[in-house]
Amino acid sequence: MQEETPPIGPEPGSGQLHRLADHLFRHEWGKMVAVLTRTFGTENLELAEDVVQDTFLAAFQVWVQQGIPANPQAWLYRVARNKALNRIRHNRFSSQHDFSNPARPLPSHGPALHTFPEEPWEPHRVSDDMLRMMFACCHPGLPEEQQVTLILKTLCGFSTAEIARAFFCPEDTVSKRLYRGKAFFREHRIRPEIPGPGELQQRLEAVLHSVYLLFNEGYNSGQPDRLIRTDLMEEALLLGRLLTAHPETAQPATFALLALLCYQYSRSQSRLGADGNIILLDQQDRSQWNHEWIAAGNEYMNRAAVGNTVSAYHLQAAIAFEHCSAPDFAQTNWTGIVRYYRWLCRLSPSPVFELHMAVAVLHAEGTAAALRILEQMDAPKKMDSYYLYHSLLGEINQRDGRHEAARQHFEKALALTGSEAEKKMLRAKMERLCF
Amino acid sequence: MKDFLLLFRGGLQFQTASPDEIQQHMLVWKDWMDQLSKEGRVTGGERLTGEGATIRGEQRQVTDGPFAEGKEVLGGYFSIKAHNLQDAIQVAMGCPIYRHQGSTEVREVVAM
Q: What is the ipTM of this complex?
A: 0.91
Q: Could A23 and B27 be called an inter-chain contact, meaning their C-beta atoms sit closer than 8 Å?
A: no
Amino acid letter, residue A227: L
Domain that holds residue A30: 1-249
| Least CB–CB distance from A20: residue in B14, B17, B27 | B27
Query: A295 and A160, same structural domain?
Result: no
> What residue of B is the nearest CA neighbor of A175?
B16
The 8-class DSSP code of residue A152 comes to: I
Query: A26 and A12, same structural domain?
Result: yes
A189: left (phi over 0), alpha (psi -120 to 50) or beta: left
| Least CB–CB distance from B20: residue in A19, A25, A59 | A25
Q: Could B20 and A23 be called an inter-chain contact, meaning their C-beta atoms sit closer than 8 Å?
A: yes
CB-CB neighbors (< 8 A) of A55 in chain B: none
| Phi and psi torsions of A247, nearest 5° | -55, -40
CB-CB neighbors (< 8 A) of B45 in chain A: 65
Residue A341 lies in a domain: no
For residue B41, give the nearest of B111, B112, B93, B103 by alpha carbon: B93
Amino acid letter, residue A192: P
| Least CB–CB distance from B20: residue in A26, A57, A59 | A26
Query: A135 and A220, same structural domain?
Result: yes
Residue A115 lies in a domain: yes
Element (H or E) spanning B60, and its range? none
Q: Please answer whether residues B103 and B70 qualify as being in contact, where contact means their C-beta atoms are separated by less than 8 angstroms.
A: no
Domain final residue pick, A305, A332, A359: A332
Alpha helical stretches, state H, A104-159: 123-137, 144-150
Residue A148 lies in a domain: yes
> What residue of B is the nearest CA neighbor of A23?
B20
Query: A168 and A183, same structural domain?
Result: yes
A293: left (phi over 0), alpha (psi -120 to 50) or beta: alpha
Domain range summary for chain B, segments of one domain joined by + = 2-108
Query: A312 and A194, same structural domain?
Result: no
Q: Please answer whether residues A273 and A421 qualify as being in contact, where contact means their C-beta atoms are separated by less than 8 angstroms.
A: no
Query: A275 and A142, same structural domain?
Result: no
> What residue of B is the nearest CA neighbor of A50?
B15
Beta strand B103-108 pairing with B2-9: antiparallel
Residue A73 lies in a domain: yes
Domain final residue pick, A304, A332, A360: A332
Domain final residue pick, A249, A265, A290: A249
**Cα A53 to Cα A49: distance, rounded to the nearest angstrom:** 6
Q: What share of chain B is helix, strand, coil (3-state, %, to 5)?
A: 35, 35, 35
Amino acid letter, residue B107: R
Q: Which CATH superfamily is domain B2-108 in?
A: Dimeric alpha+beta barrel (3.30.70.1060)
Residue A92 lies in a domain: yes
Q: Which residues pair with B77 in a beta bridge?
A: B7, B46
Q: What is the pLDDT along chain A (435 residues), one digit of tens a residue?
A: 344 455 666 555 443 334 788 899 999 999 999 999 998 899 999 999 999 999 999 999 999 988 999 999 999 999 999 999 888 887 655 444 444 455 554 444 445 566 677 777 888 889 999 999 999 999 999 999 999 999 999 999 999 999 999 888 899 999 999 999 999 999 999 999 999 999 999 999 999 999 999 999 888 877 778 788 899 999 999 999 999 999 999 999 999 999 999 999 999 888 877 666 778 888 888 888 999 999 999 999 999 999 888 999 999 999 999 999 999 999 999 999 999 999 999 999 988 899 999 999 999 999 999 999 998 887 667 788 888 899 999 999 999 999 999 999 999 999 998 777 788 888 888 888 865
Query: A220 and A72, same structural domain?
Result: yes
**Cα B67 to Cα B106: distance, rounded to the nearest angstrom:** 19
Q: Please answer whether residues A138 and A210 qualify as being in contact, where contact means their C-beta atoms are separated by less than 8 angstroms.
A: yes
CB-CB neighbors (< 8 A) of A25 in chain B: 19-20, 22-23
Q: Please answer whether residues A210 and A227 qualify as being in contact, where contact means their C-beta atoms are separated by less than 8 angstroms.
A: no
A422-A423-A424 Cα angle (round to 5) = 90
| Least CB–CB distance from B19: residue in A65, A157, A161 | A157
Query: A188 and A126, same structural domain?
Result: yes
